[in-house]
Structure 1
Amino acid sequence: MAEKPKKKKKRARGFAGVIAKQLEPINNNPKFQERYKDEKFKILLNAKDGRYAALIKVDNGKLEVDGIKNQPKENLSQEELEWDGFLELKTDDFFKMAMGEISTLGMIRRLIFRQMKIKGTKYVQQLDKLFKYLEP
């Protein structure tokens, strides 16, 4: 019998590619694997001025990032992707947030002026914890 060809893994593109590259080393961190060994959740990060959103999937101690075209908007729906947390900002604000350049007050201001959307806050807060596993 002929062997089934392996599915080629799609490479995350655009904003999702940058996020994937940043978070890739987490899978080699034993502390991350131990902490998240029994957890399963998805967080969707949408750079509203970009073409791709990043779907971060944590599944039993393994992290994976998929690139999702963010047009049409239905591509990002909770029903379609089954995400638990959602964060939408401009691309540069994502990077400022990751580098700690946006204060809590700055985040609140962005929420008030509708420059940022958050759903599933409990899961979005996991982002900060995930990035801590990248520190040496």
Structure 2
Amino acid sequence: MSFPKTEVRRGFAGMLWMQMERLNRNDKFKELYKDAKLTILYNLTDQPYGALIIVDKGTINVKHVKNDKETLKNQKVDASMSCRAELFFVLGGGQMSKIRMMGKMLTGKLKIKGAKKMQELQKIMALLG
């Protein structure tokens, strides 16, 4: 008897997948994003793996990406965010003001590319709760 292979998601990608995989069963998500194609990279600089979020034709997938310069440079993404894990969880918890966030961006502790696409991800995450 053989069991189906499941994709292993390492580190932060595994944690994100546990939250987001239920969107694949959400009819509203499927309808809103049936024609969408979106890739977003979360790079936690102090972790060995980052997370690549892929939305494609009404489905979502999260893959782990090795956190080294060469691998990250070769990723074709619509948006990306790079910071330390601690800062990511402070941002995600809503514990940081916009002014303080701008300060982190100016000092290089937080790097965001494709801010409009990141807002789209925020809308997707709202469908979870």
Q: Is 1:18 matched with 2:15? A: yes
TM-score normalized with structure 1 length: 0.86
In the alignment, what sits opposite 1:94? 88
> Equivalents in 2 of 1:64, 1:130: separation in Å?
13
Q: Is 1:74 matched with 2:70? A: yes
Query: Identity rate of aligned residues, in percent?
Result: 39
Q: Structure 2: 5+ residue runs without aligned partners?
A: none
Length, aligned pairs only: 126
Q: Is 1:85 matched with 2:83? A: no
> Equivalents in 2 of 1:25, 1:99: separation in Å?
21
Higher mean alpha-carbon deviation, 51-60 vs 100-109, is at 100-109
1:125 match: secondary structure: helix
TM-score normalized with structure 2 length: 0.90
- 1:10 shift after superposition: 2.9
- 1:23 shift after superposition: 1.3
Q: Deviations over 1:47-96 (max 9, x none)?
A: 0110001000000110000001112x11012xx22111010011122222
Select 1:42's aligned residue among 32, 39, 50.
Answer: 39
2:52 match: secondary structure: strand
Q: Structure 1: 5+ residue runs without aligned partners?
A: 1-6
CA, structure 1 residues 9+75, in 2 after alignment: closer, same or farther (shift >3 Å)?
A: farther
> Equivalents in 1 of 2:128, 2:104: separation in Å?
26
In the alignment, what sits opposite 2:124? 130
> Equivalents in 2 of 1:97, 1:29: separation in Å?
26
